């Protein structure tokens, strides 16, 4: 078995794993009812699936031609932006109250909730501005 054969098998394995994870993410996106539960499928499973597909591309380029750093840059961008965008989408759903309100924190009334302390209300709403 040559190095190219091992590279081809590893590439095929990464393609199958990536396609499987991406398929599960797409099915989860369609099957879940609530927008907050729908959010988990593409951000968690889909990111791993695309990461495996990019790993297959890296293995292929290293096996059959010169390597490339493009896939590594794409993977780094994907792994940095996917959690941030998921967090923003979740916060929008919470603030629009289009989902079930998260449980109250056990020891603090304001951290991570929609409650705002009175001192912060005075700072965020200066005199003469309207509250929305």
Is 120 domain-assigned?
no
Is residue 27 domain-resident?
yes
Question: pLDDT by residue (tens digit) across 10-54?
Answer: 999 999 999 999 898 888 888 888 777 778 777 878 788 989 999
Give the pLDDT score at 54: 92
Tell me the H-state helices in the chain: 3-31, 35-38, 40, 46-64, 70-95, 118-124
Please tell me the distance from the alpha carbon of residue 10 to that of residue 68, in angstroms, as a whole number.
Answer: 17
Enter the DSSP assignment of 125: S
Asked whether the predicted pLDDT for residue 101 surpasses 70, the reply is: no
Confidence of residue 87 (pLDDT cuts 50, 70, 90): confident
Q: Which residue has the tokens 């990536």?
A: 18
Q: Which of 23, 24, 18 is nearest to 60 (CA)?
A: 18
For the segment 119-125, the average pLDDT, to the nearest whole number, is 66
**Is residue 108 in a domain?**
no
Is 112 within the bounds of a domain? no
Regarding predicted confidence, which is higher, 63 or 125?
A: 63
Decide if 58 is inside a domain: yes
Domain of 88? 3-101
Q: Is residue 30 part of a domain?
A: yes
- Does the pLDDT of residue 106 top 80, yes or no? no
């Amino acid at each position: 078995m040559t190095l190219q054969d091992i590279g081809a098998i590893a590439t095929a394995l990464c393609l199958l794993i990536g396609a499987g994870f991406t398929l599960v993410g797409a099915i989860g996106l369609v099957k879940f009812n609530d927008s907050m539960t729908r959010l988990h499928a593409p951000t968690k499973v889909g990111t791993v699936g695309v990461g495996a597909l990019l790993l297959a591309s890296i293995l292929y380029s290293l096996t059959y031609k010169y390597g490339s750093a493009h896939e590594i840059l794409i993977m780094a961008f994907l792994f940095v932006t996917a959690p941030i965008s998921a967090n923003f989408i979740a916060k929008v759903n919470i603030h629009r109250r289009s989902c079930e309100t998260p449980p109250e924190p056990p020891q603090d009334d304001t951290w991570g909730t929609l409650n705002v302390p009175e001192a912060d209300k005075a700072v965020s709403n200066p005199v003469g501005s309207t509250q929305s």
